[in-house]
Amino acid sequence: MTESKALKVLVYSDDVRTREQVILALGRRPHPDLPEVEYLEVATEPVVIQNMDAGHVDLAILDGEAVPAGGLGIAKQLKDEIFRCPPLLVLTGRPQDAWLATWSRADAAVPHPIDPLQLADAVVALLRTRVPA
């Protein structure tokens, strides 16, 4: 594979341990066919909105359990307000909360506790939509 520009993944959670879990689960290159990933760790909603508005994010992973602004509400807002919004993955509190991910219009959902394989599968599928064939 030829070298290409790194993909930017925003990871939002008010909990530094959740952000660390996501980044450790995915690593620098979640799949050999994809470019390397650069992570942007974010702990507050205003910084999520600012980065998403800037348009340099390829994927946002939003913690639905974050406080005071949960990732599900942020996902809905981003989908409503950003034309051609990049893919969004939400981390839900439990598998039964998948309906909330549908409501938020997220492109994928992975429940807590984070399963590294499930997260990687979802992220790779979403990042493939951002890489030219």
Query: Could you report the average pLDDT of every consecutive run of 10 residues in the chain (133 residues)?
Result: 79 98 97 96 98 96 96 97 97 91 96 96 96 79
Q: What is the pLDDT of residue 4?
A: 75
Task: Using alpha carbons, select from 113, 94, 92 the residue that is nearest to residue 103.
Answer: 92
- Residue 17 belongs to what domain range? 10-128
Q: What is the pLDDT of residue 2?
A: 44
Q: Which two tokens stand for residue 83?
A: 């034309």
Phi-psi region of 105 (alpha: psi -120 to 50; beta: other; left: phi over 0): left
Is 133 contained in some domain?
no
Q: What is the pLDDT of residue 104?
A: 96
Q: What is the pTM of this model?
A: 0.95
Q: What is the domain count for the chain?
A: 1
How far apart CA 50 and CA 39 sit, in angstroms, is: 16
Is 4 contained in some domain?
no
Is 5 contained in some domain?
no
- Here the CATH number for the domain that contains residue 29 is 3.40.50.2300
Residue 73, class by beta-carbon neighbours within 10 Å (0-12 exposed, 13-18 middle, 19+ buried)? middle
